[in-house]
Amino acid sequence: MITDFWETILFGVAKYKSNAIAVHQQLHTKSAFTDQHFERWVSLFQSTIDALFFGDKAELAKQRAVSIATVMRIKTVHGSSPINIKNNQS
């Protein structure tokens, strides 16, 4: 699943057919994600890419990871509203 996802994201291979955001929205209802989880996820992802890869695709992977994590965070931690000051404090 995860490898299909990244092949699709980075190489345009139409392999991943599911919806990763929806999967994480489901997970969020079972055990809530926080902003800190996403910050940690992004930081570990970036350092792992830097340790193992270099080049255009490595840069693209890091950029896409940040954008997808941002959307996922907004759609889980912050409901679907990006501007939710109240939820921001949790």
Q: Which residues contact ligand HEM (rule: CB under 6 A)?
A: 1-2, 5, 18, 20, 23-24, 27, 33, 37-38, 41, 65, 68-69, 72
CB of 86 to ligand HEM, least distance (A): 21
Copy the structure tokens of residue 57: 């695709």
CB of 30 to ligand HEM, least distance (A): 9
Q: Which of 64, 26, 35 lies closest to 18, judged by CA? A: 26
Torsional sign, CA 61, 62, 63, 64: positive
CB of 54 to ligand HEM, least distance (A): 20
